[in-house]
Amino acid sequence: MESKKFPHDFLWGGAVAAHQLEGGYDKEGKGISIADVMTAGANGKDREITKGILPDRYYPNHEAIDFYSRYKGDIQLFAEMGFRCFRTSIAWTRVFPNGDECEPNEKGLKFYDDLFDELLKYGIEPVITLSHFEMPYYLVEKYGGWRDRRLIRFFVKFAETVMKRYKDKVKYWMTFNEINNQSSVQNAWGGWTNSGILYREDEDVQTVLQQAVHYQMVASAITVKIGHEINPDFQIGCMLAMVPFYARTCRPQDEIAAQIAMEHRLYYYGDLHVFGEYPSFMKAFQKERGIVLDITKEDLQYLKEGCVDYIGISYYMSSTISSIETDDSIKVAEGFYVARNPYVEKSDWNWQIDPQGLRYSLNLLHQRYHKPIFVVENGFGAYDKMENGEIHDQYRIKYLKAHILEMKKAMVLDGIPVMGYTPWGCIDLVSAGSGEMEKRYGFIYVDKDNLGNGTLERKKKDSFAWYKKVIESDGEIL
């Protein structure tokens, strides 16, 4: 089993997002995005969202790793590893700086033309996320972000513009990155990064969340429909953060709690994207809670006409749910406690390391949706140490190897169609959650620290040669 090969057309590559690596936040007409007003946090300390850009604060995404001017060298390194694809996002604000303009910014469009040409030169297929935590800040100030129905129109205009422009360069698309992240509404993070929303104390969070999700789902569906008209060969997917919830014990109450967590955190989103309709538990929840949303007949029609072609997922960890409070648990809602799983290890950022959870997740998703799955994020955020100019990141190799092996089992033993694998942060970049540089994922080290100091010089880690061999051998040598 271990020595089996992956199919030769398997999409091995790496993944990043525009705001986390490009920098050049105000270059060539780019507008301010919601990522540009987030300060650096730290391990265990949230990032702050400021009202506009304040002169005395540090915003790590402004320069990031300056991929904007160094992408040619970086792509050369990806090509050296043998990447067959590269997942990145298009910064909405490079194309429509404010978001509601009639005409796009030609310089922004040109940047992505050049970037995609550079990838294609090496036979690397671009895999593009349309919205990855970086909507125009102006849309937040003027319209309240995705609280407003007009956002559908602005997003679709952006999507249509870039899909037409790059129709012969890009085949694989995803609409919204980790759209289900915003279901974790204990703090403003998910609401802000997904939808440009900061919840107010005097409003019903579930109503606001579900309205924003509804508008995004309609925007996504219209995009899928238009995309298929632009180029029938397009493969357009959704993107879900896959964090499977295990019941803490086999007590039936814990099983039900885990099931409900899966429904609200995952299936609610997946069902809308894949089936184009609201699942029964969501309709029941809305009725029970008296949640009334702005949903038109046309919206429901669009949802049905814009079902996705594949499911993109990120997978980093699993989670454990208890229906009652325990010593090690944190309350997330009435009757829902996230507990520590004693059977798995955790990273320095407290993310539970669970390779088998990937196989389990692929099975769950395929059994429900019968769609190809693209693992577009997986990786190990860790502190790296430079020793005599070398980085021996055996821990990262161990993590990735274990996950690739479980993915292989899902394909070979469970028969699941997995399209490809793009480990997250194939080059070190700014962490989305904490804004740190020192939470590193890369095969390529970037000389920059949490405070923004460093030469930005690139350096291959041990995992670089390891991953090269994985791709070269079609996953036979892990």
Which residue is closest to ligand P53 by CB? 433
Q: Is residue 178 within the footprint of ligand P53 (CB under 6 A)?
A: yes
Concerning whether 118 is annotated as a catalytic residue, the answer is no
Q: Could you give the CA distance from residue 99 to residue 136 in angstroms, rounded to a whole number?
A: 6
Question: Which residues, 6 or more positions from 83, have their beta carbon under 8 angstroms from its beta carbon?
Answer: 12, 13, 14, 122, 124, 426, 471
How many residues sit in the footprint of ligand P53 (CB under 6 A)? 16
Question: Which residues, 6 or more positions from 345, have their beta carbon under 8 angstroms from its beta carbon?
Answer: 352, 353
For the bound state, the minimum distance from the C-beta of residue 270 to ligand P53, rounded and expressed in Å, comes to 16
> Based on CB atoms, which residue is closest to ligand P53, 302 or 424?
424
Concerning whether 48 is annotated as a catalytic residue, the answer is no
Q: List the interface residues with ligand P53, window 253-312 (CB under 6 A).
A: none
Helices then strands, each counted (H, E), the chain? 15, 16
Q: Is residue 432 within the footprint of ligand P53 (CB under 6 A)?
A: yes
For the bound state, the minimum distance from the C-beta of residue 170 to ligand P53, rounded and expressed in Å, comes to 19
- Residue 409-428 contact track with ligand P53, rule CB under 6 A, x = bound: ---------------x----
**Active site residue: 22, 134, 178, 436, which one?**
178
For the bound state, the minimum distance from the C-beta of residue 314 to ligand P53, rounded and expressed in Å, comes to 5
**Active site residue: 377, 438, 457, 472, which one?**
377
For the bound state, the minimum distance from the C-beta of residue 56 to ligand P53, rounded and expressed in Å, comes to 25
Tokens found for residue 419: 């399209």
The burial of 3, by beta-carbon neighbours within 10 Å (0-12 exposed, 13-18 middle, 19 or more buried), is given as: exposed
Q: Tell me if 314 sits within 8 A of 378, measured CB to CB.
A: yes
What is the DSSP secondary structure assignment for residue 6, as one 8-state letter? P
Determine how β-strand 352-353 pairs with β-strand 245-247. Answer: unpaired
For the bound state, the minimum distance from the C-beta of residue 245 to ligand P53, rounded and expressed in Å, comes to 13
> Chain-centre distance of CA 43, in angstroms?
20
Q: Could you give the CA distance from residue 85 to residue 77 in angstroms, rounded to a whole number?
A: 13
Q: Is residue 125 within the footprint of ligand P53 (CB under 6 A)?
A: no
Q: Is residue 316 within the footprint of ligand P53 (CB under 6 A)?
A: yes
Among 279, 417, 433, 452, indicate the residue that binds ligand P53 (CB under 6 A): 433
Q: Where are the alpha helices (DSSP H) in 122-251?
A: 137-143, 150-165, 189-195, 205-230
What is the DSSP secondary structure assignment for residue 349, as one 8-state letter? T
Q: Is residue 362 within the footprint of ligand P53 (CB under 6 A)?
A: no
Tokens found for residue 45: 């300390």
Q: List the interface residues with ligand P53, window 128-157 (CB under 6 A).
A: 133
Q: List the interface residues with ligand P53, window 189-248 (CB under 6 A).
A: 241
> Based on CB atoms, which residue is closest to ligand P53, 276 or 423?
423
Q: How far is CA 88 from CA 136, 141, 153, 248, 426, in A?
A: 18, 26, 23, 36, 11
Stretch of 4-12, 84-92, 221-229, 431-439 contacting ligand P53, by CB under 6 A: 431-439
Q: Could you give the CA distance from residue 298 to residue 303 in angstroms, rounded to a whole number?
A: 9
Stretch of 120-128, 251-259, 275-283, 430-438 contacting ligand P53, by CB under 6 A: 430-438
Residue with tokens 């790296």: 384
Element (H, E) at 368: helix 355-369
> Based on CB atoms, which residue is closest to ligand P53, 269 or 302?
269
Name the site residues for ligand P53 (rule: CB under 6 A). 17, 20, 133, 177-178, 241, 314, 316, 377, 381, 424, 431-434, 439
- Residues with a known catalytic role: 178, 377
